[in-house]
Amino acid sequence: MKISAPGILIVLFVLFGIIGCSVKEERDACPCRLFLDLTSVDIMDCSPVQLYIMSEDGIEYEAEFNNDNFQDTCILVVPRKELDIVLWSGGDGYMDNNGLTIPLGEDSPPVYIHSRNLLAHGESVHDVVTLEKNYCILGVDFVDPDKVQGLALRGDVAGFDRYGRPVGGEFCVCSHVDSLSGLHNTFYVPRQVGNSLYLDVEEASGKVKTFPIHEYISEFGYDWKDRNLNDLNMLLEYTPVGVSITIRGWDQEIVFDVVI
C-alpha cells in the first residue's frame, strides 16, 4: 500500500508527539539527555560513588553507584539549564547535601571528587567523569623519636562544599609519639588553600615547637592546585643546633635546617 506525501507528514507528526516535544512547542521546555561516561571509574576501589546534579534551583538529581548497579555509561534526563555535575568517592559518612565536613580531631577521608559545570541547552550533553584525588598522605618520621612525645598537624581547610571546593575551618589532628609509633606517623590532609599548614611538635621536655610545613613543601615544589594530589614524607632529626627537616616525595628530596 502506498502512502501519499501528506499521509507521510501526518505519520511523522504523530511520531514526534509520541517521542517527546511537539515541533510546535517551545524547545526550551524539552528535557536534555545527559550522557555520563564512567569508564575511568574503578568501582571496585571507589564504591560507593555519590552523584549530585545541581542547578540554581537546588538538587535536580542524586544517586549512589556501587558494585551492583554500576555501568560504564549513565544516561539521565535533565532539565535544559546550567547544571553542576559532582561525583564523590571516599566521603561516605562525612557528607550531606551541603558537602563534606571533617570533624575536628579527625584526618581527611580519602576523598576523590569530579566537578563539572555544564550548559544543558541542547538535545544532549556529555561529560567524561574523572575522579581526582583531593587529599595528601603526609608521613612524618623521626630519627630519634625518644626526644618527642606528641604531634599536632593544623590547617584551615575543614572540608569541601557541595561543588567539591575546599571550605575554610579548623583542621587539627593529633598523634602521640612513643618508641613504637614514633618512627612513622601518618596524616591525611585535605586539599589546602593558601599557606596555613603547621606541625606542632611536643618535645619530651614538654616544650612545643611549631614548624610552618606549608613553607617547606611549597619550596619543595608541591602544588595544592594539582588535579591529583601527590603524597609526601617528612623526616625530622634533632641536632645540637636545631632540627633538620627532609621532605621526600616522588624521586627527589630537599633538606631544611631549622634553628630553634
Q: Sketch the domain layout of the chain as residue ranges.
A: 26-133, 135-259
Domains 26-133 and 135-259 equal at CATH topology level: yes
SS3 7: helix
Nine-digit cell string for 87: 561525583
- How many other C-beta atoms are found inside a 10 Å radius of the C-beta of residue 185? 20
Q: Identify the CATH class of 26-133.
A: mainly beta
Would you state the pLDDT for residue 254?
Answer: 85
Per DSSP bridges, beta strands 135-142 and 232-239 are parallel
CA 11 centroid distance within chain: 51
> Cβ(254)–Cβ(219) under 8 Å?
yes
CB within 8 Å of 119: residues ≥ 6 apart: 82, 83, 125
Strands (E), 177-231: 185-190, 198-203, 208-211
From first to last of its 260 residues, the chain has per-residue pLDDT tens of 444 444 433 333 333 333 344 334 455 568 999 999 999 999 999 999 999 999 999 999 999 999 999 999 999 999 999 999 999 999 999 999 899 999 999 999 999 999 999 999 999 999 999 999 999 999 999 888 888 888 999 999 999 999 999 999 999 999 876 655 556 889 999 999 988 899 999 988 899 999 999 999 999 999 999 999 999 999 999 887 789 999 988 778 888 888 76
> CA 193, CA 198: separation in Å to the nearest integer?
13
Q: Are 34 and 124 in contact (CB under 8 A)?
A: yes
Residue 143 CB burial class (10 angstroms; 0-12, 13-18, ≥19): middle
Look up the CATH number of domain 135-259: 2.60.40.2630
